[in-house]
Structure 1
Amino acid sequence: MINDKPEVMSKAPKIIVITGPTASGKSALGIDAALALGGEIINADSMQIYQELDVLTARPPKADLAKVSHRLYGTMPGAKRCSAEQWRTLALKEIRAVHNQGKIPILVGGTGLYIRALEKGIANIPEIPDEVRAQAHVLLEKLGGEQFKENLAVIDPDMAQKLNAGDRQRLTRAWEVVTHTGKSILDWQRQAHGVVPDFDYVRFAMIPPREELYDNCNKRFEIMLELGALKEVENLLQLGLDPSLPVMKALGVPELAEYLSGKLSLDEAISRAQQNTRRYAKRQMTWIRTQYNDAKVVNEKYSERLRGDFFTFIRQSGLTL
């Protein structure tokens, strides 16, 4: 069910934000919301923006894309890096386009950094040189996550405390920023800048019970394999992309790549990918509970049974069905 009573809404342009961990039912809720409200969906997932990953990022299938308009899905080549600032610029453009049509934008995704950037502004972190990125990648491979985190704690203890040893992307990002700029990402975030548009957010957070969510993560990865995830990774590897690019670190890509290179058995690759997916889902839930605690919580995976609760809340929020 959906918790809490809705607040009195302002007259600012409205945006619905639907966030939550992977495999929690965000996409289904987004489509129901778009169909009911005549809205359009805008991607807020850092991996679903890349063209090459369809199956492994659980990008909405063609049948769903045909039901309602979806924006910023599969629009950027994996050879590029999409930063939070770039996504924010793209998202604001799409939000304004949807508002100009008299419709409601519905942001769907679990990338907390993107949502924070949209709502709070962006930290003006200088561009990190390629050689510094390469150093971070080499050091992590050499030391492993635990030792790398201990090294980070020496130069950025506050950021290291927030990160899990398995969160390779954020660990290297934290190391790159503090090494190159002399300041922690947290310091840059406290100095976030940029005009924050006056939007009226209706926020939903999907937080199913942990064991149910983990089971969903495991099953979904098995389904991804049936849908062609292995071939997708094989095609990605043939592009010869820089291994430090975000698309190469997407959930399931490193593990299946190691299977294809003969370093892991298929069962080992599946097990590791499922474990890393569960860990990622746990980090997403932690972010929501600590950074997005004013959202209306849907405390089970979204299903047809919850539609009544959702639409009742929407009506109370002053949105027209």
Structure 2
Amino acid sequence: MALIAGPTASGKSALAIELAERVGGTVINADSAQVYAELRVLSARPSVEDEARVQHRLFGHVAGTEDYSAARWAEEAKAEIKTAQERGSLPVLAGGTGMYIRTLLDGIAPVPEIDPAIRAEVRALPVSETHRLLGEADPEAAARLNAGDTTRVARALEVVRSTGRTLAAWQAERVGGIGEAIDLAPLILLPERAWLAERCDRRLSAMFGEGAVEEVHGLLERADIPANAPVRRAIGVAEIAAFLEGSLTRDEALERAQAATRQYAKRQYTWLRHQPPADWPRTDSTDISKQIGYFARFL
């Protein structure tokens, strides 16, 4: 299996398609935003034309009404990898969501299903109160997490309340990873930062003119997709929503979306540089022909 990981706008999709074309491979999405059906443009999913070039899986297959997770993605990815291998097609994973990659390869903490009543109660609290209560129930998690990180703070509190164990205790156990059962050929794309920032800005500008604004308008019109739905937290949604609602100009919304994208790319860059195994090859080359060389054993 080939794995191409890189921050947003690093060119991993183009490389994955090129490799899959050469070897009869199947491109499998490993990006948390690109799973949503409603966000083809804003998530930079491959175009319809690119998807027609090779088999693509797990792109745009989730409705924005669904609460998707890394655990569900990993199970679906394992099934797609198995299917591709059975038909003699090389699975080519492409994405930059570190949690997805870790969950697939290393497994996931076997946290039981959270009691729905507890989840609803925790998610209804203001984040400041959630963090205060977490400090009482799990002081180590409260000290570790940013008090304003709504999602992570709520997750830590709901786990300890529902299961009686801290999230860290559950995370010490991992099950279901396939890292030791597959022949993995990874490549991490880490292009020069200035090049990456410029590409992020240029891509956001193009998105605004090619349908991203209309996509967000469609989300806002959907009464069945609440404001706190994961799809509404995708980068660019809040900024475009503010533009559509009149609190930002178009240029202001674009600038803020570009800044948010650059910050996200910076976090991905740092994670990919330091967290994956040290023996995974990393390259700063943006030349696809050179990048393809890392997968010579498949060619």
Q: TM-score normalised to the size of structure 1? A: 0.82
Higher RCO (CA < 8 A, seq sep 6+) = 1
1:44 aligns with 2:44: no
SS of structure 1 residue aligned to 2:85: helix
Q: TM-score normalised to the size of structure 2? A: 0.87
Structure 1 equivalent of residue 99 of structure 2: 113
- Please tell me the residue identity of whatever aligns with 1:296: P
- Please tell me the residue identity of whatever aligns with 2:281: K
The answer to whether the 8 A contact 1:56-1:252 is kept is yes
Residue correspondence of structure 1 range 34-73 to structure 2 within 5 A: 34-73=20-59
- Please tell me the residue identity of whatever aligns with 2:105: E
Residue 289 of structure 1, aligned match among 273, 276, 298: 273
State the 1:113 CA deviation: 0.8
The answer to whether the 8 A contact 2:41-2:211 is kept is yes
Residue correspondence of structure 1 range 219-298 to structure 2 within 5 A: 219-240=202-223, 241-294=225-278, 295-298=280-283
The answer to whether the 8 A contact 1:49-1:73 is kept is yes
The CA RMSD over aligned residues, in Å, is 2.6
State the 1:263 CA deviation: 2.6
The answer to whether the 8 A contact 2:6-2:189 is kept is yes
Structure 2 equivalent of residue 215 of structure 1: 198
CA distance in 2, matches of 1:264, 1:148: 30
State the 1:159 CA deviation: 5.0
1:74 aligns with 2:72: no
The answer to whether the 8 A contact 1:163-1:171 is kept is yes
Structure 1 unmatched runs, 5+: 1-14
Residue 312 of structure 1, aligned match among 263, 283, 293: 293
The answer to whether the 8 A contact 1:255-1:273 is kept is yes
Could you tell which deviates more after superposition, 38-47 or 257-266?
Answer: 257-266
Structure 1 equivalent of residue 181 of structure 2: 198
SS of structure 1 residue aligned to 2:184: strand
Deviations 1:258-295 (A, max 9, x none): 22222323232222222221221122122212321432
SS of structure 2 residue aligned to 1:200: coil
Structure 2 unmatched runs, 5+: none
- Please tell me the residue identity of whatever aligns with 1:219: R
